[in-house]
Amino acid sequence: MSFSRLAGIAGMGFVVILIVANLLLTMASFPTPSEAASLDEITTVFAAGSGSLRLASALLPTAWLLATVFAVGVCVCFRRDERTRTDPWSLVGLAGVLMQSVVFTSVEATRLALISAAQHDSGTVAGLWGLYTALFGFNQVFLATALLGLSMFGIRTGAIARWHAGTGLLAATLLFVTATTSPYGVGSVNPLVLLGLTGWLLWLVWIVAYSVILIRRAPTRSGIPDTSAASTDT
**Is the pLDDT at 217 greater than 70, yes or no?**
yes
pTM greater than the 0.95 cutoff = no
**Is the pLDDT at 185 greater than 80, yes or no?**
no
**Is the pLDDT at 151 greater than 80, yes or no?**
yes
With helix as H, strand as E and coil as C, how does the chain read?
Answer: CCHHHHHHHHHHHHHHHHHHHHHHHHHCCCCCCCCCCCHHHHHHHHHHCHHHHHHHHHHHHHHHHHHHHHHHHHHHHCCCCCCCCCCHHHHHHHHHHHHHHHHHHHHHHHHHHHHHHHHHCHHHHHHHHHHHHHHHHHHHHHHHHHHHHHHHHHHHCCCCCHHHHHHHHHHHHHHHHHHHCHHHHCCCCCCCHHHHHHHHHHHHHHHHHHHHHHHHCEECCCCCEECCCCCCCC
Cα gap 111→126, rounded to integer Å: 12
**Is the pLDDT at 55 greater than 50, yes or no?**
yes
Residue 133: name the closest of 179, 102, 65, 76 by CA: 179
* Per-residue pLDDT at 210: 96
Name the percent of the chain lying above pLDDT 70: 87
Mean per-residue pLDDT over the chain, rounded: 85
Between 23-37, 79-93, 116-130, 143-157, the lowest mean confidence (pLDDT) is in: 79-93
Cα gap 152→218, rounded to integer Å: 22
Q: Taking residues 196-205, report their average pLDDT.
A: 93
* Per-residue pLDDT at 61: 94
Q: Taking residues 180-198, report their average pLDDT.
A: 80
**Is the pLDDT at 169 greater than 50, yes or no?**
yes
Between 45-54, 60-69, 79-88, the lowest mean confidence (pLDDT) is in: 79-88
**Ramachandran category for residue 38: left, alpha or beta (phi over 0 → left; psi -120 to 50 → alpha):** beta
- Out of 23-37, 160-174, 216-230, the most confident range is 160-174
Q: What is the CA radius of gyration of the chain?
A: 19
Q: Taking residues 123-146, report their average pLDDT.
A: 90
Q: Taking residues 34-49, report their average pLDDT.
A: 77
Q: Taking residues 55-81, report their average pLDDT.
A: 89
